[in-house]
Structure 1
Amino acid sequence: MDLLPLTEQLLGIRSTADRPDDLRRALDFVLDVVGPGFTVERFESGGKPSALVHAGDHRPHFRVIFNAHLDVVPGTDDQFRPRRDGDRLIARGAQDMKLSALVLASVFRDTAARLPYPIGLQLVTDEEVGGRDGTLHQLEQGVTASFVVIGEHSARRVVAESKGLVTVRLRAVGRAAHSAYQWLGDNALVKVVRAVDAVLAAYSVATGEEWRTTVNVARISSENQALNQVPADATAWLDVRFPPEDTDFTGRTADEVAAHFTSLCPPGVTAEVDHFEPPHRADPDGPDLLALQRAARAQGYSGDLLRKHGAADSRFFFQRGIDAEIFGVGGDGQHGPDEYADLATVEPYRRALTAFLEDLA
């Protein structure tokens, strides 16, 4: 448990997307844990810093990359004051994923120089807001690997599959009028509400865990500010998550997905796709994945494969033909008021990662 005091310090850093100084503090903190003797490549995109750590002067093609994000979602003041309850370490980011990040950093520090193949430590600060300025940016700058372990929460299992992500806007244009004379106008907000109803009729709100496409209505808005005016515009924002099996999304272009949503809407409403990223899937019989499962099971983890509903940075590797798995410490409650990491899983996690690297050697 030598990492516990360090973890508590890292959890106290309020590294949310709107606090760039704290994002840098968190990144520098973990780099200090890694210590000297390694090459540190620093990147920045969209105001979000990241780093890639490796042995040797020149960046190689990595046999393995450990990937960790150090940003967290917003929380209350008390969530950035970590506390213990038995084996539970409770704080914002405890499970997602600052403790796992420090374990990955410590295993990298202790093994990178002695392994007969190159490994890298990839530290990013934007995963919670999309990952495009961290992991994706580094890949666009030429970072390559054969296999990636991401320390996200995985319920003591190994995530080899996760859903794709689409963000969609439903736009309606109407005609303004005095609200007392509705027949002279055309209410765009009513059109968008009906469009949302139509989309939810096709993709009902999930009331339990189901491996299917889901649509979250995140926001509905209009530029109209007057109660006595018929709105002439309206927009609904949708967050869509889809599994690889859904052929309305997998293998389609962004324009085709936009046309699909437009076809669900009543006349006068059109769909636009802001972001469209494929699901993530790794070869369940790949030798590296099987090696990771063996190492996890040897330390008491189940090592079973898990399908994850949320998108992760693993999708950026998948797009480039790189197998990426998610494997992190135990815990629960990510993004919630009582998020916690299970401290009893930390040393087995560290031993599993070390054994995995040695097995590959």
Structure 2
Amino acid sequence: MDDFLEVAGRLIAVPSTADRPAELERALELVLAYVGPGFEVERFSSRGKPSALVWRTGPRPHFRVLLNGHLDVVPAPDEMFTARIEHGRMYGRGTQDMKLAALVMAGVFRDVAADLPYPVGLQLVTDEEVGGYDGTAHQIERGVSADFVVIGEQSGLRIVTGSKGILQVRLTATGTAAHAAYPWLGRNALLVLNEAIARVLDRYPVPAAEAWTTTVTVARIETGNRAVNQVPAEATAWLDIRFPPEDTAINGRDAAQVRAYLCELSGVEVVVDSLGPPHRAEPDTGFVRALRAAANEAGFSGAFLRKHGAADGRFYYAAGTDAVIFGPGGDGQHGPGEYADLSTVEPYRRALTSFLRRKIFSGVQHGS
């Protein structure tokens, strides 16, 4: 544990944010060095975001199991890039989300990959916090495939079998400019926009408590109007929409179809800025049952969990591959008090190791 924490401290010290490509590379190289020699390493790069894929030997196989971790973090004050340990917790940016989990995955891969009777891979990416399109999605586009994927995002050794998709759009309303003293001579675009937003929220009201339903957050409203004494002729709203797999009005539709749906719903023009699918894994598959049993053996329930935030598992869901989130404990994600619960690190390592060695994989030949 002391050696692990020393390396973890060095990894936390790397300010691997999206705007620092050299630091993204440095974080990736540090974890690859932790894995050590004797493995095949395939490197990828897309729009300045490096990533890597590691496996035992020979040509890249179709993996039976793939361990996925991201090494990028959201911005933070400089002091958060110095790890500190207090009362069984390691504090710092990336401790919970998700450098420690990625490092555990790297260590488990290093220790067991060569002895397994089937191909297992380690996938390390550096762009999850800004969408994942240049890491996990890019590798899938380049032919990386697997039967089952474990993503090491924080879960307290519970198993996340579902997470919401993400849709970010702009609603744009137009009106007619006029002097503010004579508003009846114009048409206020902000009022038109407010009515459009109200129609969207009537369809997707803000829940009073946590609910597995589509949510809409009005993130920003803006107009080019700079005069107070003028009726604005245009206005734009930015919406962040999170949707579960069950929302068939959005899930399974392409950007053009989603745009048409929201145009009809809102009554104004819509631009789709980004659309990412949700993620769902069947909880009764042999892989998930084996992972749950491994969590039980490590002293945790392995209870099922659904997450409202988007993660890289959505790219595997879209490719028809089961993926789950399974990581250690902690709290304070993206906040000033982010920490990893160090009491969960060793159980997490044991659970991953036990899972990869389960009888479910007996008789599976390496390279199959």
TM-score over 0.5 for the alignment?
Answer: yes
Counterpart secondary structure, 1:112 = helix
> Counterpart of 2:180?
179
CA-CA distance at 1:325 after TM superposition: 0.9
Counterpart secondary structure, 1:198 = helix
Gaps of 5+ in 2: 363-368
Pair 1:159-2:160 in alignment? yes
> Counterpart of 1:295?
294
Distance 1:220 1:95 in 2: 32
Comparing 88-97 with 170-179, greater Cα deviation is found at 170-179
Q: Residues 44-89 of structure 1, C-alpha deviation per residue, up to 9 Å, x if partnerless?
A: 1122111111121311111111100111112222222222221111
> Counterpart of 2:169?
168
> Counterpart of 2:275?
276
One-letter code aligned to 2:258? V
One-letter code aligned to 1:107? V
Distance 1:207 1:32 in 2: 47
Distance 2:241 2:141 in 1: 25
Alignment of 1:307-346 (within 5 A): 307-346=306-345
Distance 1:233 1:57 in 2: 59
Distance 1:44 1:226 in 2: 46
CA-CA distance at 1:106 after TM superposition: 0.5
Alignment of 1:1-361 (within 5 A): 1=1, 2-265=3-266, 267=267, 269-359=268-358, 360-361=361-362
CA-CA distance at 1:295 after TM superposition: 0.6
CA-CA distance at 1:294 after TM superposition: 0.6
CA-CA distance at 1:187 after TM superposition: 2.6
Comparing 282-291 with 229-238, greater Cα deviation is found at 229-238
Contact map agreement 2:156 2:344 (CA 8 A) in 1: no
Distance 1:21 1:194 in 2: 46
Distance 1:80 1:195 in 2: 43
CA-CA distance at 1:247 after TM superposition: 2.6
CA-CA distance at 1:98 after TM superposition: 0.4
Change (3 A) 1:126 1:221: same
Change (3 A) 1:322 1:244: same
Counterpart secondary structure, 2:187 = coil
TM-score (norm 1): 0.94
Distance 1:128 1:39 in 2: 26
CA-CA distance at 1:155 after TM superposition: 2.9
Counterpart secondary structure, 1:9 = helix
Contact map agreement 2:97 2:153 (CA 8 A) in 1: yes
One-letter code aligned to 2:228? L
Change (3 A) 1:32 1:233: same
One-letter code aligned to 1:182? P
Distance 2:33 2:149 in 1: 23
CA-CA distance at 1:284 after TM superposition: 1.1
Counterpart secondary structure, 2:109 = helix
CA-CA distance at 1:258 after TM superposition: 2.2
Change (3 A) 1:8 1:255: same
Comparing 73-82 with 123-132, greater Cα deviation is found at 73-82
Note the aligned Cα RMSD (angstroms). Answer: 1.6
Comparing 75-84 with 345-354, greater Cα deviation is found at 75-84
Contact map agreement 2:42 2:52 (CA 8 A) in 1: yes
CA-CA distance at 1:233 after TM superposition: 2.2
Aligned residues: 359
Comparing 52-61 with 347-356, greater Cα deviation is found at 52-61
CA-CA distance at 1:151 after TM superposition: 0.2
Comparing 274-283 with 34-43, greater Cα deviation is found at 274-283
Q: Residues 194-253 of structure 1, C-alpha deviation per residue, up to 9 Å, x if partnerless?
A: 322332233222342111111111222223333344333221111111112223223334
CA-CA distance at 1:181 after TM superposition: 4.0
Q: Residues 253-311 of structure 1, C-alpha deviation per residue, up to 9 Å, x if partnerless?
A: 4333223322332x5x2223222232211121111111111111100121111111111
Counterpart secondary structure, 2:327 = coil
CA-CA distance at 1:110 after TM superposition: 1.0
One-letter code aligned to 1:312? A
Change (3 A) 1:206 1:92: farther
Runs in 1 of length 4+ with deviation above 6 angstroms? none
One-letter code aligned to 1:122? Q
Contact map agreement 2:28 2:51 (CA 8 A) in 1: yes
Q: Residues 145-177 of structure 1, C-alpha deviation per residue, up to 9 Å, x if partnerless?
A: 111110001132001111122112111122334
> Counterpart of 2:366?
none
